[in-house]
Amino acid sequence: MYLKSLTLKGFKSFASSTTLRLEPGITCVVGPNGSGKSNVVDALAWVMGEQGAKSLRGGKMEDVIFAGTSGRAPLGRAEVQLTIDNTDGALPIEYAEVTISRTMFRNGGSEYAINGQGCRLLDVQELLSDSGIGREMHVIVGQGQLDSILRATPEERRGFIEEAAGVLKHRKRKEKALRKLDACEGNLTRLGDLLGEIR
Ligand code: ATP
């Protein structure tokens, strides 16, 4: 599995559609200060479902949409497409090539798609969660992030390891199932009370 291409359109400083084609192995992005190198990494995190505006170096999520320059009007939507080579079947989907896309409009809300089929954020997260590109995005190490990992508490560090090992997905599912079970028990108690009143 490797990242094959990334297309940005209306995302941060990339107003026009821009595609970066990547090869297996190491890719270096070079350019002057402020030319958009970090924006490329932000786009990668964003298309994989990043929900925190701060993680994307913005104040609010809308800040990912091209805000305009002196010569170009702001845009109404941001769009990123990430194509992953899946010939080794690392992603649990029967396609040799997987394209994940995310679109966001200025009036809020994000749309996701996997190979052109609209889907939920959860579907994108589940697709990626066993690949090491999980929802916590530990594969993207931003500037200054190493410090925060070194300063993490033992519990936080365990979280990083669980995420990398693919355990976190099952923990989240367990928590969700327990919450549902809890709600069912509440309903059963309520039902018992009602039956008691009727008898
Ligand atoms: P450095 O080498 O200094 O870290 P960089 O190449 O990583 O720089 P970025 O941080 O990726 O640069 O890009 C910063 C540029 O992106 C700034 O010029 C900023 O104005 C522009 N930018 C960020 N968000 C938007 C937006 N929503 N609309 C338009 N331009 C934006």
Q: What digits encode the pLDDT tens for the residues 61-107?
A: 899 999 999 999 999 999 999 999 999 998 999 999 999 999 999 98
CA 25 – CA 29 distance, rounded (Å): 13
Note the pTM of the prediction, 2 decimals.
0.77
Ligand 1 centre distance from Cα of residue 144 (Å): 17
CA 187 – CA 36 distance, rounded (Å): 53
Q: What average pLDDT is seen over the chain?
A: 89
ipTM higher than the 0.85 cut: yes
Reduced to 3 states (helix: H, G, I; strand: E, B; else coil), residue 11 is strand
Of 118, 145, 139, the C-alpha closest to 54 is 145
CB 60 within 8 A of CB 53: yes
Q: Residue 7 — pLDDT band, cuts 50, 70, 90?
A: very high
Residues forming a β-bridge with 80: 8, 102
Average pLDDT over residues 23-36: 93
The pLDDT, as a whole number, for residue 196 is 94
Which residue's CA lies nearest to atom 14 of ligand 1? 34
List the domain boundaries for the chain. 2-165, 169-199
pLDDT-above-90 percentage for the chain: 64
- Choose the weakest-confidence range: 11-15, 18-22, 93-97, 168-172: 168-172
> CATH topology for 2-165?
Rossmann fold (3.40.50)
Q: Is 134 touching ligand 1 by the criterion CB < 6 Å? A: no
Q: Is 39 touching ligand 1 by the criterion CB < 6 Å? A: yes
Q: Is 58 touching ligand 1 by the criterion CB < 6 Å? A: no
CA 19 – CA 151 distance, rounded (Å): 37
Q: To the nearest 5 percent, what fractions of the chain are helix, strand and coil?
A: 40, 20, 40
CA 16 – CA 179 distance, rounded (Å): 45
The pLDDT, as a whole number, for residue 54 is 78
User: pLDDT tens-digit profile of 36-54?
Assistant: 999 999 999 999 988 887 7
User: pLDDT tens-digit profile of 133-164?
Assistant: 755 555 777 777 778 788 889 998 887 787 77
The pLDDT, as a whole number, for residue 21 is 96
Ligand 1 centre distance from Cα of residue 167 (Å): 35
Which residue's CA lies nearest to atom 20 of ligand 1? 13
Average pLDDT over residues 13-26: 95
The pLDDT, as a whole number, for residue 6 is 97
